[in-house]
Amino acid sequence: MPRQNADSAVGVERFFQFSLLGLVTSGFLTVAGSGNLDGITIALTTAGLMLRALLILGFVRLHFSERAVNLATLAYAAFFAADYFLLSREFLGATVHLLFFLAVMKILTATSSRDHLYTAVIACLELLAGAILSASSNFFLFLALFLLFAIAALTTGEVRRSLTVSVVTAQRPSERLSLRLGVLATLITTGILLLTGGLFFILPRTAEAAFAHLVAHHVLLPGFSNQVTLGQIGQIQTSSRPVMHVRIWSATRVGPLKWRGATLTDFDGKRWTSPNRAPTRIEIEHEHVVLAPGVRPPGRRINFHVELDPMENDTLFFAGTPETLDLDARGIYVSDSGTIRLGHPLSQGFRYDAWSLLDAPPETAVPVYPPPVLPLEARQLYLQLPPLDPRIAALAHNFAGTAPTELARARAIEARLRTDYTYTLELPSREPADPLADFLVTRKKGYCEYFASALAVMLRAEGIPARLATGFHNGVYNPVSGLWLVRASDAHSWVEAWIPGRGWSIFDATPPDFNPAGITWLSRISLYLDAADTFWQEWVMAYDLTRQGTLAFRMEQNARSLGNRWFHQFRGLRYRWEHRGDGWPPAWWSLRFTLIALGWLAGITFLGFAIRTLLRRLRMRQRVERVRRGQARGADATLLYHRMLYLLAKRGYQKPPWFTPAEFASSLPRTSLGEAVSEFTDTYNQLRFGGHATAAHTLSTLLDRLERE
């Protein structure tokens, strides 16, 4: 084989091997991106894929004997049983580990076409596992990569196969073949994604992300169960994992909000718990429930929509005191302290709407009439204390000073904690025997629950009923999605104290963080990624007929603002239909949106074909100019002949497909045009089949003559 052909074959082989490696890698990323793959598997698989890349580049030379591969496979067969019964303890997890072991072994040892086929099948199984395990938007990115590498592997595999057959039937590949194959694979992938994306939004799903429920994605947040140990909220705050997204409907600006989850009453010196009293179950009818019937007290109210990420906890979070609640559930459980629970772990995308009365500072809140009264039994519950270090009570009395009222004493203690102590997420170097006394007397810095616990205990020591509240503080507004993003790092705890004549009031002794994270380019990127994930959850994972109608309405509104008459015709159809009798049928929304989407799809397809035709003609002109400069090749003769046929077709002469070039030339009238075509055909045969490069100039001259005829 000539050296140039050999070099081209090496380039094609390397491109094929990298395409196959990319196929396996993208399948691996779909599973790793779901967050359900352990660190050891990720590290070992990544090392195996990197080793394969080094082998392809020639930086490492390594040969695996068939005996070694068989021994490794037998060893892993024994390990699979241990993985199933001792490590993963579930069939799906052990099977995923086995899948990646096979993927790494096959990509490292594949040599034959059958091995390459098995590798592609394993990559497809990886993608399937990722589809089951993943519910986030990064799956779409890895799916696009998988599709790109799949097309690249298929096209390169066909070229690679053609190079192994007879040299007579295989032309020498272009020196830029790898680049052209890469561009071709990218264009095909883009086209497939656009077409399937259109079909995706035309066809609604009714299962609402059934695949996402096959595997549990729940995360336990320990601060929102029936107990919390000092330090647990601080551990949650080290994570930036999204917990919920909130949309607030308010005509005026809403200040910092506290998303209240659970309240805890009993403190043993290290841990807060709630009495194990049975909560009240409230049945929900038609997805709506009134939580505060009767006369509405004065105050400011807001309406908000919450969408929660999956959690093992069943606590619902509210800003202020919820009065009405809309959610898809049969019932809720409400404790005597106002904690609202669902009764089962929260699923992916669980959402609810609420109308709440916001908490106002007791100094400015409108007095409630008749004044609320705390029963004696409840008062004793919220005043109980464990055996305390005597210094804590002394500090409480010192901080309260000579304030005359419960409210004044509570504010005085709150102010001293906020000014004399420091907020930090640092863990103590050792676990103290009395963490609260260590915080107040020795360390004087800690998490938010240290401040809240100290305030609640000191208020009780002063005879003021108090309880600990846990939840989240405000969050960050994402201007891209228009939602408030609440992360685990926003976890917070504060105090609710009973103030005579005003009821339960909020007190927060945690000082502000003097080293907050600033807005950086990484944080901005995270907001864009969060907006993309929100879109994925709303319009992909939970896409149904209702959202299809919403999308159709939005498209209609946008097109109407641009003056699109086509959509106005649909508006007229809707008006005529509504005045026929029964109004707008729900099925018509789906049909209407289907027609709209098909129209857009047809327009995009037509535009693609037009661009393709334009590019083909531009390419033809460029190659013709190259021939005229004397840089012709045998394949260019065909291009010039097609150019001649194009000129003849404009004059009404169409070559039948079954005619040879010579037969077509002889069928033309014996005019100057016919003679020019005959001469052009003879010269074309000399260049195309005879290899006479000098005939290119004659063809160019004859082509100019035909253009002037």
> Cα(316)–Cα(262) distance, rounded to whole angstroms?
9
Query: pLDDT-derived band of residue 37, with 50, 70 and 90 as boundaries?
Result: confident
The per-residue pLDDT for 1 is 43
Specify the pLDDT at position 475. Answer: 85
The interaxial angle of helices 3-32 and 138-162, nearest 10 deg, is 160
Which of 20-29, 80-89, 514-523, 644-653 has the highest mean predicted lDDT (pLDDT)? 20-29
Which of 202, 327, 306, 159 is CA-nearest to residue 245?
306
The pLDDT value recorded for residue 624 is 64
Give residue-wise pLDDT tens across range 534-575.
Answer: 777 666 666 655 565 666 666 666 655 555 454 455 455 444
Q: At what angle do helices 545-561 and 565-578 cross, to 10 degrees?
A: 120
> Between 635 and 159, whose confidence is greater?
159
pLDDT category at 201 given cuts 50, 70, 90 is low
Band of pLDDT at residue 94, cut at 50, 70 and 90? confident
Task: Look at residue 656 and give its three-state secondary structure.
Answer: coil
Question: For 449-476, b where at least 16 C-beta lie within 10 A, e where not — what string?
Answer: bbbbbbbbbbbbbbebbbbbbbbbbbbb
| Cα–Cα nearest to 325, from 355, 295, 285 | 355
Report percent pLDDT > 70 for the chain.
75
Backbone φ and ψ for 177, nearest 5 degrees, come out as: -65, -40
* Cis check: omega of the bond before 279, within 30 degrees of 0: no
Among 7-16, 108-117, 217-226, 399-408, the minimum mean pLDDT is found in 217-226
Q: pLDDT of 383-397, one tens digit each?
A: 999 888 889 999 999
Higher per-residue pLDDT: 236 or 121: 121
Confidence of residue 156 (pLDDT cuts 50, 70, 90): confident
**Does residue 432 surpass a pLDDT of 90?**
no
Q: What is the mean pLDDT of residues 515-522?
A: 60
Number of helices (H) and strands (E) in the chain: give both, helices first: 21, 20
Query: In the predicted model, is pLDDT for residue 205 greater than 80?
Result: no
Q: What are 40-69's pLDDT values in tens digits?
A: 889 999 999 999 999 988 888 888 787 888
In terms of Cα–Cα distance, which of 272, 273, 269 is closest to 435?
269
Sequence spans of domains, the chain: 3-202, 222-364+372-508, 630-708
Distances (CA, A) of 319 to 82, 322, 377: 48, 8, 28
Start-to-end CA span in the chain (Å): 46
Query: Which of the pair, 415 or 350, is modelled with greater confidence?
Result: 415
Distance CA 111, CA 200 (A): 38
For residue 309, which of 406, 240, 244 has the smallest C-alpha distance? 244
pLDDT of residue 127: 84
pLDDT at 487: 85
Model confidence over 354-366: pLDDT tens digits?
A: 999 988 888 888 7
Q: Which residue has the higher pLDDT, 318 or 695?
A: 318
Alpha carbon distance 362, 356 (integer Å): 17
For residues 698 and 446, which has the higher predicted lDDT (pLDDT)? 446
Interhelix angle 448-461/390-400, rounded to 10 degrees, is 80
More confident residue, 580 or 290: 290
Q: Which residues pair with 504 in a beta bridge?
A: 498
| Global confidence as pTM | 0.59
Q: Which of 140-154, 295-309, 452-466 has the highest mean pLDDT?
A: 452-466
As a whole number, the mean pLDDT across the chain is 78
- Dig out the tokens for 356 from the structure: 């709440």
Q: Which residues are CB-contacts of 245 (< 8 A; sequence separation ≥ 6)?
A: 306, 307, 481, 483, 484, 485, 486, 534
DSSP 277: P
Q: Report in angstroms the alpha-carbon separations of 522 from 32, 141, 517, 526, 672.
A: 21, 19, 11, 6, 72
Question: Alpha-carbon torsion 288, 292, 294, 297, what sign?
Answer: negative
Q: What is the pLDDT of residue 505?
A: 92
**Angle of helix 672-688 versus helix 634-650 axis, rounded to 10:** 160
- Nearest to residue 423, comparing CAs of 402, 450, 395? 450
Residue 365 has which token pair? Answer: 């809140």
Within 8 A by CB and 6+ apart from 438, the residues are 428, 432
